[in-house]
């Protein structure tokens, strides 16, 4: 499922913010991270930010077939959020 489809489902209320966050985080990498995160409205970036702050590698439980993101995926999201003013460096 592509980002446009995910955002369409979100805008129609079929999926919620945490579900979008999980789909983005499990898909993000250096080659597509900027594109994925840039496509999100600020309200959804807040879910990514909150997850990046709370992330504890190997200690999180994922439901519904979602995969726990890797440390590299979370680190990419943190760097992107800081560079775009969505997250303070002191919170990472």
Q: Which of 4-8, 10-14, 57-61 has the lowest mean pLDDT?
A: 57-61
Which contacts of 18-24 are long-range, i.e. CB under 8 A and separated by 24 or more positions? 18/47, 19/64, 20/44, 20/47, 21/47, 21/48, 21/51, 22/62, 22/64, 22/66, 23/66, 24/48
Evaluate if residue 91 carries a pLDDT over 60.
no
Domain containing 13 equals 3-91
| Number of domains present in the structure of the chain | 1
pLDDT in tens, 44-83: 999 999 999 999 887 767 666 667 899 999 999 999 999 9
pLDDT tens for each residue of 22-52:
999 989 999 999 999 999 999 999 999 999 9
pLDDT of the residue at 65: 66
């Amino acid at each position: 499922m592509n980002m446009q489809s995910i955002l369409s489902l979100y805008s129609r209320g079929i999926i919620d913010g945490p579900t979008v966050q999980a789909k983005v985080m499990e898909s993000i990498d250096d080659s597509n991270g900027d594109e994925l995160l840039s496509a999100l409205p600020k309200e959804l970036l807040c879910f990514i930010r909150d997850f990046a702050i709370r992330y504890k590698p190997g200690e999180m439980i994922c439901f519904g077939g979602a995969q726990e993101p890797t440390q590299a995926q979370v680190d990419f999201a943190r760097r992107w959020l800081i560079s775009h003013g969505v997250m303070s460096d002191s919170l990472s």
